[in-house]
């Protein structure tokens, strides 16, 4: 098999924009066995014998399952909690409900960009990510979606701003208390009150029905915020950056059917996974492919960057952006970038749809151009990249 470095045709082309930074900063949890083969990674994520793990997961008190987010649950409890919200992510919900929100939000984004002349790309992608996730969660009774976005951002940014030491912890706790209570008062409380009167199809309505405590509701909403909003913001900017830079790929994206547009986005996500590491702890012995046997209690760290570029499953030149690869190799397009098994991202299709729509409409704007490229930085708390500083411009309406 031709390896990336030895490919005679492409001379080891590496199209990744986040690759070098990730290699320098990726930090698997101490003592974890690093899993780099696609087949073994998939087996471990799919196994019923492993438990969710990683930095915060192991600090969670599992004796009170009703008080914790379903991200941290496993087995039957996890299955039930996921089943309760599965319909919110179904293809029908995307086409009939979320698509309307995506279009409406994009109208707002386009109007703002055309009125201002230029804007920060990550601010625009953040608006899309927040509006779509807010609709799924049920955060639709805030004073304005801009204020909701700002309050969610402040809560989620708290951990990034966290400084080490006792003083750092104190400041972090105070900030969180203040920011979370603001978020609850202005965004969650009105949404909960509205749904007590008239339930809807959203996460908050299912939590009211299940009689969740205030604390659990807050944690669940913020977990969705982190999982659905922060990830999609980065993914949209990453895709836009690749497409601004590569004219032929952009033309293919704009000229092709939706199916091909998704293939392009999924291939970008394969190379530039927003989440890089997934940890699992074996509850019982686990036999995974390629001789990766986990002993009970053993911690595994599945490196999504490594498994997504495993030549056994990508074929030759794994670091090249090749939208035809997945079809040729008969693999799911994003490889393991949305995870796999019971915790596989339920929002995967939502994220792909909103990204596709954002890019399709943005690239069709007259005079659309990239004024400055983003800088790539590493967020150690989520072990993922952040793209800031990209500015785009277009002609006035």
For residue 168, the minimal CB distance to ligand HEM (Å) is 27
Q: Which of 183, 224, 262, 319 binds ligand HEM (CB under 6 A)?
A: 224
* 320 in Cβ contact with 45 (< 8 Å): no
The smaller minimum CB distance to ligand HEM, of residues 275 and 321, is found at 275
The smaller minimum CB distance to ligand HEM, of residues 155 and 227, is found at 227
- The site string for ligand HEM over 30-59 (x = CB under 6 A, - otherwise) reads ------------------------------
Q: Which of 271, 350, 387, 390 binds ligand HEM (CB under 6 A)?
A: 350
Q: Which stretch binds ligand HEM (CB under 6 A): 100-108, 146-154, 272-280, 281-289?
A: 272-280
Q: Which stretch binds ligand HEM (CB under 6 A): 26-34, 158-166, 174-182, 270-278?
A: 270-278
Question: Would you call 151 exposed, middle or buried from its count of C-beta atoms within 10 A (0-12, 13-18, 19+)?
Answer: buried
* 119 in Cβ contact with 392 (< 8 Å): yes
Q: Which of 65, 333, 347, 374 binds ligand HEM (CB under 6 A)?
A: 347
* 276 in contact with ligand HEM (CB under 6 A): no
Q: Which of 18, 158, 206, 231 binds ligand HEM (CB under 6 A)?
A: 231
For residue 9, the minimal CB distance to ligand HEM (Å) is 30
Binding site for ligand HEM (CB under 6 A): 70-71, 82, 133, 136, 224, 227-228, 231-232, 235, 274-275, 278, 337-339, 343, 345-347, 350-351
């Amino acid at each position: 098999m031709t390896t990336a470095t030895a490919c005679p045709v492409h001379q080891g082309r590496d199209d990744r924009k986040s690759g070098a930074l990730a290699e320098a900063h990726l930090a698997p949890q101490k003592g974890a066995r690093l899993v780099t083969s696609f087949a073994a990674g998939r087996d471990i994520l799919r196994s019923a014998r492993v438990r969710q793990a990683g930095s915060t997961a192991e600090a969670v008190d599992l004796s009170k399952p009703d008080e914790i987010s379903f991200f941290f649950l496993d087995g039957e409890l996890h299955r039930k909690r996921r089943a309760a919200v599965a319909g919110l992510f179904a293809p029908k919900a995307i086409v009939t409900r979320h698509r309307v929100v995506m279009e409406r939000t994009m109208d707002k984004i386009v109007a703002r960009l055309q009125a201002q002349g230029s804007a920060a790309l990550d601010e625009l992608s953040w608006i899309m990510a927040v509006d779509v996730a807010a609709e799924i969660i049920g955060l639709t009774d805030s004073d304005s979606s801009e204020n909701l976005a700002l309050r969610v951002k402040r809560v989620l940014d708290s951990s990034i701003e966290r400084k080490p030491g006792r003083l750092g912890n104190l400041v972090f706790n105070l900030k969180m208390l203040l920011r979370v209570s603001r978020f609850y008062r202005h965004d969650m409380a009105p949404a909960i009150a509205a749904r007590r009167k008239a339930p809807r199809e959203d996460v908050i309505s299912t939590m009211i029905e299940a009689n969740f405590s205030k604390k659990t509701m807050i944690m669940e909403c913020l977990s969705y915020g982190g999982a659905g909003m922060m990830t999609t913001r980065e993914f949209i900017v990453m895709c836009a950056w690749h497409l601004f830079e590569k004219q032929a790929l952009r033309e293919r994206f704009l000229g092709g059917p939706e199916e091909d547009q998704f293939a392009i986005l999924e291939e970008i996500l394969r190379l530039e996974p927003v989440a890089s590491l997934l940890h699992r702890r074996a509850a019982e012995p686990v036999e995974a492919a390629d001789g990766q046997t986990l002993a009970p209690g053993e911690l595994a760290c599945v490196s999504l960057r490594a498994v997504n570029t495993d030549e056994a499953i990508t074929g030759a030149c794994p670091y090249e952006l090749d939208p035809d690869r997945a079809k040729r190799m008969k693999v799911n397009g994003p490889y393991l970038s949305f995870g796999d098994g019971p915790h596989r991202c339920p929002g995967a299709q939502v994220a792909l749809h909103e990204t596709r729509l954002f890019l399709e409409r943005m690239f069709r704007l007259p005079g659309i151009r990239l004024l400055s490229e983003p800088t790539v930085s590493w967020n150690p708390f989520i072990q993922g990249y952040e793209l800031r500083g990209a500015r785009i411009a277009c002609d006035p309406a």
